[in-house]
Amino acid sequence: MQLLDTLSATFVDAFGETPVLIKSPGRVNLIGEHTDYNMGFVLPAAIDKAIYMAVGPRTDRQLHFMAADLNSTYKSSLDTLTHAAKGWANYLLGVVDEVTKITPLTTGLNVVFGGTIPIGAGLSSSAALENAVVFALNHLYNLGMERVSMVKLSQRAENNFVGAKVGIMDMFASMMGRAGHVIQLDCRSLDYTYAPLKMDGIRIVLCDSRVKHSLVTSEYNTRRAECEAGVAMLQAVYGDRIQSLRDVTIDMLNQHVRDQEPLLYRRCAYVVLENGRLLDGVADLQRGDVAAFGQRMYGSHEGLSKWYEVSCPELDILEDIARNHPGVLGARMMGGGFGGCTINLVREDALADFEKTIREQYRAKTGKDTLIYSCVIEDGTHVL
């Protein structure tokens, strides 16, 4: 792979040593959106778009980072772990900072990294980068950390140092991925199981709306508050039985929320139904029924668009074009919403026609071009 050769050569030129090479993948989420912060279930998988890192220990306490794709360098020290003006460096520094809270590092780190994850497409390049750093430190310094511990550390790095209050799904999927499988993750307990994804003759295809709406942060916070308000209404009736929407049924919502607070009802009902769709979808995959799973993806998109209201016209157009293509088994918006990608299950023999149709019809209906990425499910973060 040319990128690996380039990263290795750059590392040798800069530091005069042969690096350890690490691959840390991006992720998709097949179903289960906005369920993570409601203590529900998600169904992500690691993909073949990844961060690649050449890394090695130093003999002093310096930290030398090189972002090959950006042609940018950053130098610091274990003794001065402060925020960098270069935003990308904070993802690395945050991980180093969290590791030093657990165990003192006696020597620094040399890093050269690049990647194949499209930036801004919602495939979690930041989580992949954080995982690569903690995996490298664990490997080089024999820290003895288990994978789930490294996942939690990556999340703390982004929460505490970068300052983004993200959930755990992105890091978990990138680190824990398994080729040919999706991860059924319980966001309350962090219990997880692998479900087989028998994708013979079917590809996961992402269509990028090329829309980046500024609404996503404010509306995300609003949705969280609406869900919490719905939970509070039910706690007034059921007490401690209700800790989150995970504990709620549609009957409870019908009885105590629907007529009193119609907006809160729609928000909470979407989450409750989405958890059910996910669990039923896992059963579909266990049976090898990808077509049935695809129908649940359409249901997920309708819920996100009409009930949770986090879609946008462009995402709805992409989903509608896919739904009406005979080679597509399922499609929905993926991620926080108001832009980003749709995720589609497409028959390989229809792939070329699907891409042509999406490009032509999306251009005709929106005046925009879409970017299309075909993905393969692969293993999580590992040494090459």
Q: Catalytic amino acids?
A: 170
Residues 375, 207 contacting (CB under 8 angstroms): no
Q: CA-CA distance, 74 to 64, in Å (whole number)?
A: 6
Residues 173, 45 contacting (CB under 8 angstroms): yes
Residues 24, 51 contacting (CB under 8 angstroms): yes
Indicate the burial class of 213 (C-beta count within 10 angstroms; 0-12, 13-18, 19 or more): middle
